[in-house]
Structure 1
Amino acid sequence: MIPELNQSGVLPPFIPEQGPTDPAGMAPYKTTITEFIHRYAHTFERRAILRGLLDYRRKLKSIGVRNGFQWLDGSFVEDVELNRGRPPSDVDIVTFALRPTNDLELWKKLVYENTDLFLPNEAKQKYCCDAYFVDLNTHPIHVVSNTRYWFGLFSHQRESYLWKGMVEIPIDCSDDEALEILDREAGNA
């Protein structure tokens, strides 16, 4: 479930009624891609970014990246239209996933042939996703270090240092249903 934005126009870092020590009530908030679409597809610009996100996720799955989750954040999950007077330009994503193969050479080949998924500038240009990848097959020390980095970066606004929450979506969920919802939203606009 994605909580309502707080008075600062951001997702709260934890649900106040549950407090900051209850893991069930703290960010990242686990949800589905369909709930994410329902929540954030309210403008033309947001729908275009969401379409890019769905394309990004589709291509990840097409190369076998299915076992993992994504953290979504940035101005996209904030009330950036009100707070900064502009629409979001992208959605920030960190994909935490296991490699689809244990063959390291095959994995390197997949990454090299799909740089639009693994190089942030290419992903941003093609999918409107400021996208990063954490390989869960690496040593746990590296996974913990990467998680600490991304959680620290995503849990605060860059300019104001305001503490905020983020969303977590499994990679392997019903993106086709989410695309149908997005298409309906575009038709209702």
Structure 2
Amino acid sequence: MTANAAAIPDWNHDGLLPPIQPGAPGNALNRSPYIADLAGIIDRFGTSPERIAILGGLLRFRSGLHAAGITSGFQWLDGSFMENVEVLENRPPHDMDVVNFIDLSGLDQQALGKSHSALFDPTKVKQDYAVDAYFVQIGGMFDEAAIRRVSYWYSMWSHRRDGRWKGFLQVSLDPGQDVVARTVLNSLGGRQHD
């Protein structure tokens, strides 16, 4: 287990990541979204062939973002993948939900949309990478609309459909994390992604 995998809290008795680190006071900063490194996430959640395949898809999706020049920002990771869905619903996860908070400063956004349109096509991304991808642009004005977008995702992801509170993870888009993460994934039996 990598050191950062240990920083991700265990699932609680409901099979969910807790919204606040167990035992921490309500005003503690150690809360959802839990900041983790990519290798730690793979080490912690790469527990079955289905999960390993989804993590491989996440790495390929990130590789596409990096190839497009999108290397600044972070991702929120959630969905049934971050839950003990094998016990909760007696099934493996089918995909991972990812909100990409991306800084496009210095990038030609029109050219990016044309040359890498498949990365922004939700159907294609889900089919090719097993990722439900959503995007929020950061690095610009922090206005009411930006606050509403972040609030939307936080409120959507801090509860299950049945109303139970849950936590989720945050990982940097820094490509440097992906090299170590690929090594961890390959050691778990994932196909080679080099």
Q: TM-score, normalised by structure 1?
A: 0.91
Match of 2:8 among 2, 16, 35: 2
Aligned to 1:122: 124
Is the counterpart of residue 178 in structure 1 residue 184 in structure 2?
no
Aligned to 1:12: 18
Alignment of 1:102-117 (within 5 A): 106-117=108-119
State the shift of 1:63 in Å.
1.1
Aligned to 1:85: 90
Deviations 1:146-189 (A, max 9, x none): 1001111111112x1111000000010421211111111117xx
State the shift of 1:140 in Å.
1.5
Give 2:150's aligned amino acid: T
Deviations 1:109-134 (A, max 9, x none): 21233223222222111110000111
Deviations 1:50-92 (A, max 9, x none): 0000000111111111111100000001000011010000000
Give 1:3's aligned amino acid: P
Kept in 2: contact 1:64–1:100 (CA 8 A): no
Match of 2:27 among 4, 21, 30: 21
SS at match of 1:151: helix
SS at match of 1:130: strand
Q: Distance in 2 between matches of 1:116 and 1:149?
A: 25
Alignment coverage as a number of residue pairs: 182
Aligned CA-pair RMSD: 1.4
Aligned to 1:140: 142
State the shift of 1:14 in Å.
0.3
Q: Distance in 1 between matches of 2:111 and 2:45?
A: 35
State the shift of 1:49 in Å.
0.4
Q: Which runs of 5+ in 2 are unaligned?
A: 1-6
Aligned to 1:45: 50
Q: Distance in 1 between matches of 2:110 and 2:146?
A: 18
Kept in 2: contact 1:94–1:134 (CA 8 A): yes
Q: Which runs of 5+ in 1 are unaligned?
A: none
Q: Distance in 1 between matches of 2:22 and 2:49?
A: 32
Q: Distance in 2 between matches of 1:121 and 1:65?
A: 20
Kept in 2: contact 1:115–1:122 (CA 8 A): no
SS at match of 1:135: strand
Give 1:68's aligned amino acid: G
SS at match of 1:140: coil
Percent of aligned pairs sharing the same letter: 37
Mean Cα deviation higher: 14-23 or 122-131: 14-23
